[in-house]
Every structure is written in structure tokens, then in C-alpha cells.
Amino acid sequence: MENRNYISSYCAVKEGEVIVDHSTSYSEKTLPSIDFIKSVYKHFQLNYPKFYKMDHLCKLAFVTSELLLKSNPVTQKYSSEDIAIIIANSTSSLEIDTEHQNTISDKNNYFPSPAIFVYTLSNILIGEIAIRNSIKGENTFFIFDKFDPDFMSSYINSLLNSGKAKCCITGWVDFYENKYESFLYTVEKEKGTLNIEHTSEQLKKLFNN
């Protein structure tokens, strides 16, 4: 089996900008983080009532994955069991963990919110993407100090080369204290229109652009 794998599409959301496959598809530099993410949702008319109930991290993952899969609808090409989702970040679910802590820190005002509590795990964002797109393949969430192209390229290539998945939705989604950055991309055996080999070097270039 051919051991090369390719980045077939990507979507990056950071610094008030949405970039899909090298092109800026939306930009709004004046809004603070979460307002910007909500504006992306409205701008692209991503109709999903559950969106507003999500925490900030899941909202960011949701809009990024929606735009990625709009550009490259891999769920129409592969069976649900053949698509993996592997995502990483550096702050885990700390943003919502802190919010949850605030609801339970005062014993005289102890009202933990179920809707907040359900998001106090970073891999919930993978679940949100999987539920939305009926994806049932391998999934893992990693926490690193920073985006690690060496690890991600090696891990995802191994996943595809071993036949555990035929396609992978992968990348980085981080949100903490109004700082946000997401970069999700699809990896396949086919070159796709981008025709970028899934190597550490190529990943570094794309992520830092």
C-alpha cells in the first residue's frame, strides 16, 4: 500500500479571520473572540440549534469543522466507521472548567450547572463533531504545550497506513481567556485539490501561515 498521505483540505480560524484552503473566506477583526466565532456561525448560516448551548471551545471546533467539511465533504466519500477524528490543544477544557468551579466554590451559593458540567472534558468537542456528522471511526484527543507537527503527522499517517482509518479529520482547537486558534484539516490517501503531502514540514508551513 502507498504510504504517502495528503492534506486534502483545511480550515483555520484565528485572529478574526477564517481561511479555507489558502483563501480568506471571512474576516471581522473588530469583534472579541466568542463574538467573532458566533459571527462566523451566523455569516455562514450554519443552522444547528445546539450551537448556542455549546461551550466556547466546542463552538470554535464546530464552526471550523463545518467549514472544513463544506469544502471537502468526506462524510459523503467514506463510510462513517472509516473516518477518524484526532484533535489536540494546549489548554484542554480549562475555560469551562473554571466556569464550573465558579458555580461550586461558594457553599452558600452552590448551584452546579448541568449544561456547563457536560463540557468539562476537552474530548467533548470530538463528540460534537462526530454527532453532527454521524462519524463513528477512531477518535483521540491529545494535550500538548503547542501544536506538534512531528507527532501529528506521524500518528495520523500511521493510522491511515495501518488501515485503521481511510480519512482523518485532525488538527488543533484551543480556546482560553479570549485567545482562540483552530486549524482543522482532512488527511486522505488521495491528493485532492490541495495536493500537499502530509509531512511534518508541510504541516508546519500551513499551521504557521
Q: Are strands 139-143 and 83-89 parallel, antiparallel or unpaired?
A: parallel
Sign of CA dihedral 115, 116, 117, 119: positive
- Give the one residue of 111, 134, 145, 208 binding another protein; rule: CB under 8 A: 111
CB of 12 to another protein, least distance (A): 25
Our finding on whether 118 is near another protein (CB under 8 A) is yes
- Give the one residue of 4, 43, 53, 205 binding another protein; rule: CB under 8 A: 53
Our finding on whether 49 is near another protein (CB under 8 A) is yes
Q: How far apart, in whole angstroms, are the C-alpha atoms of residue 129 and residue 62? A: 6
Q: How far is CA 200 from CA 90, 149, 155, 175, in A?
A: 19, 5, 11, 24
- Give the one residue of 30, 115, 163, 208 binding another protein; rule: CB under 8 A: 115
CB of 121 to another protein, least distance (A): 14
Of 189, 184, 203, 199, nearest in space to 161 by CA: 189
Our finding on whether 134 is near another protein (CB under 8 A) is no
The phi and psi torsions of 53 (rounded to 5 degrees) equal -85, -15
Nearer to another protein, 116 or 200 (CB): 116
Which positions touch another protein (CB under 8 A)? 49, 52-53, 111-115, 118
